[in-house]
Amino acid sequence: MTKDQIFEFFRRLAEDNPEPETELEYGNAYQLVVAVALSAQATDVGVNKATRALFAKVKTPQQMLELGEEGLKEHIKTIGLFNSKAKNVILLSKLLVDEYGGEVPDTREDLVRLPGVGRKTANVVLNCWFKQETFAVDTHILRVGNRTGLAKGKTPEQVEAKLEKRVPQPFRLHAHHWLILHGRYICKARTPECWRCPVADLCSYRKKVIEKPKR
C-alpha cells in the first residue's frame, strides 16, 4: 500500500467506527491487565462471562490475593488454560502489591515483568488505559496486515514494527482496535466478507470473496 492508500484505509475505518474500544469488560487498569491476560487463546465473550462476577468482588491486586488461587479458578474455570492463568494472575497480583504499591505501571518494560503478561498484553494495557500509541498484534492483525498489504510479516513483532512505521496520524491511537475488529468481523480467517468490506478496493488480497456465498 502507498502512503495515500494507508491514510484512506484508516480514514474509512474511522468513519465507520470513530471511537473503537476493546470488547473486554473492565473497570480499572488492574482489571484490564487481568482480563487481557485471561484472553490468551480465549474469546473476549468467554472472558467477559467469567469475569463479570469476579470483577464485582475483585477490584485490586490485594483483593485478588485474598480471594486466592483456588477461589480464582472457580470463577475462570470455563476459560481455556485456566489453571496456569490463575497461577499467573496471583503471581502478577503479588508483584504489583510488593513492588508497585498495588498500582499498574505505565511502561512496557515494567508490564512485561508481570507473570503472564507478554508484549501484546502490555501493548493493550498501554493503549486502552494509558492512551499510548501502541500496536498489539494478535492473530487478527497478523492476518489483516498480511492480506491487505498494510503490514506484512511472519511474526507479530515484524507486523508491529511495520505498523509502527506506516500508520499515520491521526489514526495511531485507535489503529489496532480498527484492525482487530476488522479481522474479527469482516476479514475473517476462512471466508473474508470482502463483499461488505469498506476497504476492499485498497486491499492487495488476490483471493477476494466479492460475492456473498449462497446458503
Burial annotation 187-204 (CB, 10 A radius, 16+ → b, else e)? beeeebebeebebbebbe
pLDDT at residue 40, rounded to an integer: 87
Contact 122, 106 (CB under 8 A): no
In whole angstroms, give the CA distance from residue 109 to residue 118. Answer: 10
| Single-letter amino acid, residue 155 | T
Question: In terms of Cα–Cα distance, which of 187, 150, 142 is closest to 6?
Answer: 150
- What is residue 203's DSSP assignment? -
Q: Is 197 annotated as a binding residue?
A: yes
pTM of the model: 0.91
3-state secondary structure of 131: coil
Tens of pLDDT, residue by residue, the chain (215 residues): 999 999 999 999 999 999 999 999 999 999 999 999 999 889 999 999 999 999 999 999 999 999 999 999 999 999 989 999 999 999 999 999 999 999 999 999 999 999 999 999 999 999 999 999 999 999 999 999 999 999 999 999 999 999 999 999 999 999 999 999 999 999 999 999 999 999 999 999 999 888 888 87
Q: Is 128 annotated as a binding residue?
A: no
**What residues are annotated to the active site?**
120, 138
Query: How far is it, in rounded angstroms, from Cα 208 to Cα 200?
Result: 8
Contacts of 64 (CB under 8 A, 6+ apart): 34, 58, 72, 89, 90, 93
- pLDDT value, residue 212: 85
Structural domains of the chain sorted by starting position, each given as residue range(s) with its CATH number in brackets: 3-19+135-202 (1.10.1670.10), 29-129 (1.10.340.30)
119 φ/ψ sector (left φ>0, alpha ψ -120 to 50, else beta) = alpha
Q: How far is CA 183 from CA 56, 87, 144, in A?
A: 31, 31, 6
CA distance 69 to 171: 40
Respond yes or no on whether the N-terminal peptide bond of residue 18 is cis (omega within 30° of 0).
no
Q: Is 97 helix (H, G, I), strand (E, B) or coil?
A: helix
Q: Which residues contact 32 (CB under 8 A, 6 or more apart)?
A: 24, 26, 104, 124, 125, 128, 129
Query: Is residue 72 helix, strand or coil?
Result: helix
Q: What is the pLDDT of residue 213?
A: 80
